[in-house]
Structure 1
Amino acid sequence: MRKTIMISLDSFKNLADTPVGEFKLKPTSRTEGQTEAANVLWEAPNGGTSIGVWECTPGRFTADRTAAGEYCHIISGRASVSHVDGSNTREIGPGDLLVLPQGWVGEWTIHEHMRKLFVISADA
């Protein structure tokens, strides 16, 4: 029988003000000086799913969701996201939900400092 693990719903209260920690250089950035910070609010015991808040400064970076998919709920900021071949570009902003299925590879261009809630899961 599979055991269900509940977390406190307060973990996701007021995501606009949840601290994200120290900003560090974005490793996959194509823009010099671009930084990011994240705060993982919950992680499955098996490591297969993590939920948290992420922020990033303006610039371009590559993203690889080969190992796990990602659901992104945009809290603030604006960006363009496109597939690795430049196709299927989508503009995203506050209130949008972006789904990057497992296997997706592409590029983000952050136009305005961005904050998002993320769910990364090998089941996505």
Structure 2
Amino acid sequence: MTTVETPAVHGSTDADLGPHALKPTALTSGQTEASLAVWENDRVSTGLWECTPGDFTATREGYSEICTILSGRVTIEVEGREPEEFGPGDVMVMPSGWAGVWRVHEPLRKHYTTIAD
């Protein structure tokens, strides 16, 4: 029998994700992010991500994302829809082609899984 590794992170709400870097799509000066990939293959990637408060634009082109908010609060704004707030325990799906603005109210951490088209 072949033994297969079980990639994991224990304590996902306080695990060290490494150094923060400036958020490239930030609308708020000085906003930073950090992430830690837990597992990935050619089509799927899963891990942890966090971001400091502020606003940024986001698009999902060529992949879909499923995420669960672990800590913090964010309001997601998508053109033509009412803004929606998410907090700890909430799950959201951003299908390929999705675009919007994230308004991060307090330090935000999520677990994400992306799936390439």
TM-score (normalised: structure 1): 0.85
Deviation at 1:7, TM superposition (A): 4.9
Deviation at 1:17, TM superposition (A): 2.3
Q: 1:109 aligns with which of 95, 100, 103?
A: 103
Q: Quick check: 1:90 aligned with 2:84?
A: yes
Deviation at 1:86, TM superposition (A): 5.1
Off by >6 Å, runs of 4+ in structure 1: none
- Aligned partner of 1:67 in structure 2 is 62
- Aligned partner of 2:44 in structure 1 is 49
Deviation at 1:113, TM superposition (A): 0.4
Q: Quick check: 1:38 aligned with 2:35?
A: yes
Mapped partners of 1:87, 1:77: distance in 2: 22
For structure 2, which runs of at least 5 residues remain unmatched after alignment? none
For structure 1, which runs of at least 5 residues remain unmatched after alignment? 1-5
Aligned residues: CA RMSD = 1.4
Deviations 1:5-52 (A, max 9, x none): x6516x0432112211100000000000000000001011x2x11101
Residue identity opposite 1:91 in structure 2: E
Q: 2:6 aligns with which of 1, 5, 8?
A: 8
SS at match of 2:17: coil
TM-score (normalised: structure 2): 0.90
Q: Quick check: 1:27 aligned with 2:40?
A: no
**How many residues are paired up?**
114
- Aligned partner of 1:3 in structure 2 is none
- Aligned partner of 1:58 in structure 2 is 53
